[in-house]
Amino acid sequence: AQKVTQAQTEISVVEKEDVTLDCVYETRDTTYYLFWYKQPPSGELVFLIRRNSFDEQNEISGRYSWNFQKSTSSFNFTITASQVVDSAVYFCALSDATSSSNTGKLIFGQGTTLQVKP
C-alpha cells in the first residue's frame, strides 16, 4: 500500500531561520510522482513542486529547495531564510499515476504546520 508520512506535526521558527520539512513515502511502484503543496489559511492547496521517480536531481526555486533520495524514500523540503508569509500547512503527496486513467488521486501525508514568527 502507498503511504506518506510527515512526522513533524508542527514547526515554529523565527523569521530568517532555515527550516526543513520531512517527508517519507512508501510505494511498490517503480514509476511514481511526488508533490509538495502549501495550504494557506484560505484553504486551497497551492502546488509547489512535482518530481518523478526517475529524477533524483535536487531542485531549487528561490528560497525553496527539495531533496529527493530514493535510497531513503524521502522527499524533504527546505525553506531558506523563512518569512512570515511562509506560515501555512505543507503537504507532501504521492501519485501512482502510471496510467492516464488515474490522474486525480493523490496520497497525502498528514501535513506539517509551519509557523514563522517575526
Pairing label, strands 19-21, 46-52 = unpaired
Applying CB under 8 A, which of residues 107, 112, 114, 116 lies at the interface with other proteins?
A: 107
* Cα separation of the two ends of the chain: 41
Nearer to other proteins, 104 or 118 (CB): 104
Nearer to other proteins, 82 or 109 (CB): 109
Applying CB under 8 A, which of residues 19, 21, 106, 116 lies at the interface with other proteins?
A: 106
Q: Which of residues 37-56 bind other proteins (CB under 8 A)?
A: 37, 42-47, 50, 52
- Kindly report the CA angle at 108 between 104 and 111, in degrees rounded to 5? 140
Output the smallest distance, CB 88 to other proteins, in A: 13
Output the smallest distance, CB 53 to other proteins, in A: 12
